[in-house]
């Protein structure tokens, strides 16, 4: 299916209190910031949201809070992937019951399944829910890669709504787009490649940088859709150093620090992730200032 969601989709962080609990009021403040910046949808409990170190109770709290306060104001997508198909199915069913508009399902990490295993994994998830399902291809984290021919097979599943493509391999992305065009939406999952992925027909961006610069990222998206590529390139050139800074260390370490620099209370990542180094804080703050982002 196509048309579930287009535009800017922010991969949200999960803010934590100093004692380690989930700071739901601050999450709400962050989503309000996204809405004011023109963001079209948010992903909660995606990789950027650190679900691997959250309890099931905390995950439910995040979903319930987001749905209760923002359903109808912005599309809500919940990360539900696992390396266990049964767990991915259960998490997707739960997200649907709690009111999510769609789910983002990362490939089954660590197990290193075959391409047929990938297809069966996504089919099982899609068969378990009625809401749209977006596959998330990020082989650098999972050691599993959705190949173009597998993407083409996935496009035949009725409620498979798209692929978040973060392989970093543009040759593969172009071939995937050729095979799924008009049948399945493609989303950029690499901020560095947002513009070229949009240029070949991508429906939108699932972005980390838009956590702190939603209006700038949306401006670039709008210019591409208006076919004003020269202007879009100017915005992307302006954004690139900020995007680089948002990945100075493993995501979401820098973006949580960036939220704190903007006056939010994001807390710090949970172990085994660590707080951004002092050296990189200086670099990140410099790029935030250069981009003209102001404290909230």
| Backbone φ and ψ of 105, nearest 5° | -120, 105
Three-state SS for 264? Answer: coil
Q: Write the DSSP symbol of residue 248.
A: S
**Nearest CA to 194 among 48, 11, 3?**
11
| Best CA proximity match to 221, nearest among 240, 202, 242 | 202
- The Cβ-side half-sphere exposure at 136, using a 13 Å CA radius, reads 32
Q: Which of 135, 50, 127 is nearest to 93 (CA)?
A: 127
Report the run of H or E that residue 204 belongs to, with start and end.
Answer: strand 204-207
Tokens of 202: 């991508």
Q: Of the residues 59, 164, 218, 256, which is catalytic?
A: 164
Residue 121 among the catalytic residues: no
Query: What is the rounded CA–CA span in Å between residue 162 and residue 154?
Result: 9
Is 256 a residue of the active site? no
| Cis peptide bond prior to 252, omega within 30° of 0 | yes
In the set 33, 136, 187, 259, the catalytic residue is 136
Give me the active site residues, please: 136, 164
């Amino acid at each position: 299916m196509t048309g579930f969601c287009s535009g800017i989709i922010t991969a949200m962080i999960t803010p934590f209190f100093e004692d380690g609990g989930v700071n739901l009021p601050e999450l709400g403040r962050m989503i309000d910031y996204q809405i004011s910046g023109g963001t079209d949808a948010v992903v909660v409990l995606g990789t950027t949201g650190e679900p691997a170190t959250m309890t099931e109770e905390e995950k439910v709290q995040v979903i319930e809070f987001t749905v209760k306060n923002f359903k109808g104001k912005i599309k809500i997508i919940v990360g539900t992937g696992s390396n266990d198909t049964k767990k991915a199915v259960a998490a997707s069913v739960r997200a649907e019951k709690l009111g999510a508009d769609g789910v983002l399902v990362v490939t089954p990490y660590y197990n290193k399944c075959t391409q047929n295993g990938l297809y069966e994994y996504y089919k099982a998830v899609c068969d378990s829910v009625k809401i749209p399902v977006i596959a998330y291809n990020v082989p650098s984290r999972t050691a599993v890669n959705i190949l173009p021919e597998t993407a083409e097979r996935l496009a035949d599943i009725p409620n498979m709504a798209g692929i978040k493509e973060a392989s970093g391999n543009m040759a593969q992305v172009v071939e995937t787009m050729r095979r799924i065009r008009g049948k399945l939406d493609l989303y950029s999952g690499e901020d560095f490649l947002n513009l070229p992925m949009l240029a070949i027909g991508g429906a939108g961006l699932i972005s980390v940088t838009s956590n702190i610069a939603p209006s700038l990222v949306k401006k670039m998206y709008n210019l591409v859709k208006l076919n004003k590529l020269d202007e879009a390139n100017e915005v992307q050139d302006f954004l690139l150093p900020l995007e680089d800074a948002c990945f100075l260390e493993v995501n979401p370490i820098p973006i949580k620090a960036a939220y704190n620099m903007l006056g939010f209370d994001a807390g710090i990542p949970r172990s085994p992730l660590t707080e951004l180094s002092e050296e990189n804080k200086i670099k990140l703050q410099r790029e935030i200032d250069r981009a003209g982002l102001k404290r909230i």
